[in-house]
Amino acid sequence: MADIIQLLPDHVANQIAAGEVVQRPASVVKELLENAIDAGATEIKLVIKDAGKTLVQVIDNGVGMTDTDARLCFERHATSKIKKAEDLFLLNTKGFRGEALASIAAIAHVELNTRQEQEEVGCQIKIEGSKVVSQEPSVAPKGTSLLVKNLFYNIPARRNFLKSDAVELRHIIDEFHRVALAHPDIRFDFYSNNAELFNLPPSNQRQRIVNIFGGKTNEKLVPVNEVTEVVTISGFIRKPEFAKKSRGEQFFFVNDRYIKSPYLHHAINSAFEGLLKDGLQPGYFLFLTVDPQTIDINIHPTKTEIKFDDEHTLYAILRSAVKHSLGQFNVAPVLDFDSDPNLDTPYGYKDKKISMPTIEVDANFNPFKEEVSNDTNSAVTSKKSSSFSSGSGGHSFKRDAQPSWESLYVGLKDDDEGESVTIESERFSSVQFESEEVTGKLFDDSELTSSKATTFQLQKKYVVTTIKSGMVIIDQTRAHQRVLYEQYLKEITINEGVSQQLIFPLELHFGKVEISLLQTLKERLEGTGFAFEKMEDDVVVINGIPLHVTESEVPIILEQLITDFGDDIPDSGFTQTDMLAKTLCKTLAVRGGETLTNVEQENLVNNLFACTEPTVSPFNKPAFITMSAGDIEKKFM
């Protein structure tokens, strides 16, 4: 029998390894930026085209490489960071596995230009699909420039799994944020399709956060600082009143390396317990410094997960540090039983002697005594019984005085009232009130018990209405979602959303990633009635909102949109419209626990049964159930 086990060719092995290291263009950006940082660069420039599918280029002013190093860096398991297995637990750098460049070169066209400071001439290497096309001297500035073109050109099946340019760009921006936040002392420039997205000068941690997420972020941050033998914690947390539904602004860094840790995230949530509403997420930018020997960072190919030796102690310290910061800066309520500030002596009376208050009593005062007023001609005596004396001003009002308000009704007779009512009724008899016409019906008119069906609300959650065969129990939230969904779907499709203008434009602040997402949905949002005056940088100015939407609901709607479209933005217009309509109806629908008047209940029932699909909500959940008289009778058997 012939042997069936054989060694894989190098280019095939590199392509398989690339599946672990390079999942999308953002993975290439991450690896190249980390290499530039390890090279000691103080200025790093990132240039991408078509969300990294066409070009990813990273230029740095680091130490550069020799001709030999430039050639060896594309070999598998070639690294300058480790020489023995024990070095894995003494790492203070980013890349160390030696597979990144080899994996990238196996699935793209790569061009490397590098030069060390003491060298006069640099080196240029071109590789296509793991094959070295050329290696020759070149004129290059100090540092390294690495271009990655046509990613996944030789693996079309993998390229087809990439998302739209907007989604891939957002993933690249996320990776850029993680690297830039961890190194505020390095200058970063980011260009996408020849447009500058970020220009981050060297700064401190707080200023770097503000430069990335907008100027309004500064007032939302609370510093966290804690030094212990186990860990040193620094960074910032967002104030509870600025919490969001999305989990975008949540960053953990361990030894300047971005990590994901659900366990430590739970510690932050525990510290914010009682301060956040349901569904809101805390925001934080926390930097942890620990002994490299106490962590293992080689447990995941992307190196975003870390194993700690003593997670429980770290959990307790992190939770206590966050709670201390919330209390120290009066973000969380603090109870103090030692003293009452209301009992403190004012500074002006601190050194004064205590004096007893004096009381003066008029012993001759008699409220029933007759008052005598002297006049030049005669003395007139007036009794108290004939007037009411006011204690404050001494004014007197006679009982038999004619009230002045009665003069307002002089000349009016009872006969005129009927005539005026008749005139008013005739005046409004010609007024016609516009009402929404309901065309569809779920039940026949013969099924209704009367010309007007009776409705009532059950537990502030269900609307119950009667039909001839029994009754219908409607979930008010799902029913309203269905009504709003079809309404917004129609408005977005035909672009006939009615807008109400705002007297004072509404100004909202978002990050650049969120702004780019809203710009993608801008046209369809305008179809619902939104009117945008400005949408750029980190500011959104709105001067018109849809009918039946209050000004306070606008930030909630936009944040919900960002959350719903956070993972993916569909390419097709219909899918975008569908997701947008679902987001609006989910945000604006009446909630369980809200009381509806009889008119609102009847309108909800009529509008629901006028819908195209009244039986289910937009999220494919039952909107109502029916109970026949027979079903009710069976309950009593």
Contact criterion met (CB below 8 Å) for 448 and 467: yes
Per-residue pLDDT reduced to its tens digit, 445-458: 544 444 455 788 99
- Which pLDDT value is given to residue 389? 43
DSSP sequence for 97-158: SS-HHHHHHHSSEEEEEEE-TT-SSEEEEEEETTEEEEEEEE---SEEEEEEESTTTT-HHH
- Give the mean model confidence (pLDDT) for residues 412-435: 53
- Which pLDDT value is given to residue 328? 81
Per-residue pLDDT reduced to its tens digit, 328-369: 876 666 555 555 566 566 666 666 777 787 888 888 888 777
Confidence band, pLDDT 50/70/90 cuts, at residue 322:
very high
Please check the confidence at residue 41 and state whether its pLDDT lies above 80.
yes
Contact criterion met (CB below 8 Å) for 224 and 234: yes
The CA-atom distances, in angstroms, between 361 and each of 320, 358, 364, 365, 390 are 62, 10, 9, 9, 20
Polymer length of the chain: 637
- Which pLDDT value is given to residue 371? 56
Class level of CATH domain 10-200: alpha beta
Domain 10-200 and domain 205-328, same fold? Reply is no
- Which pLDDT value is given to residue 477? 94
- Per-domain boundaries in the chain: 10-200, 205-328, 446-627
- Which pLDDT value is given to residue 96? 47
- Which pLDDT value is given to residue 449? 42
Confidence band, pLDDT 50/70/90 cuts, at residue 33:
very high
- Which pLDDT value is given to residue 592? 87
Of 56-60, 364-368, 407-411, 438-442, the one with minimum mean pLDDT is 438-442
Question: 384 or 463: which carries more pLDDT confidence?
Answer: 463
Strands 455-458 and 462-467: antiparallel
* Type of residue at 121: V
- Which pLDDT value is given to residue 515? 83
Q: What is the pTM of this model?
A: 0.70
- Which pLDDT value is given to residue 385? 41
User: Which CATH number, 3.40.50.410, 3.30.1370.100, 1.20.1560.10, 2.40.128.50, labels domain 446-627?
Assistant: 3.30.1370.100
How far apart are alpha carbons 208 and 61 in whole angstroms?
20
- Give the mean model confidence (pLDDT) for residues 500-529: 85
| CATH 3.30.230.10 fits domain 205-328 | yes
How far apart are alpha carbons 312 and 308 in whole angstroms?
9
How far apart are alpha carbons 259 and 311 in whole angstroms?
14
The CB-based long-range contact list for 571-577 (8 Å cut-off, 24+ gap) reads 571/164, 573/524, 576/521, 576/524, 577/489, 577/492, 577/493, 577/524
- Which pLDDT value is given to residue 378? 45
Q: How many CB atoms lie within 10 A of CB 604?
A: 20
How far apart are alpha carbons 142 and 134 in whole angstroms?
21
- Which pLDDT value is given to residue 60? 93
CA angle 119, 124, 125 (to 5 degrees): 135
Please check the confidence at residue 286 and state whether its pLDDT lies above 90.
yes
- Give the mean model confidence (pLDDT) for residues 490-518: 83
Per-residue pLDDT reduced to its tens digit, 104-145: 888 899 999 999 988 889 999 999 988 889 999 988 899 999
Enclosing H/E stretch for 396:
strand 396-398
How far apart are alpha carbons 515 and 637 in whole angstroms?
62
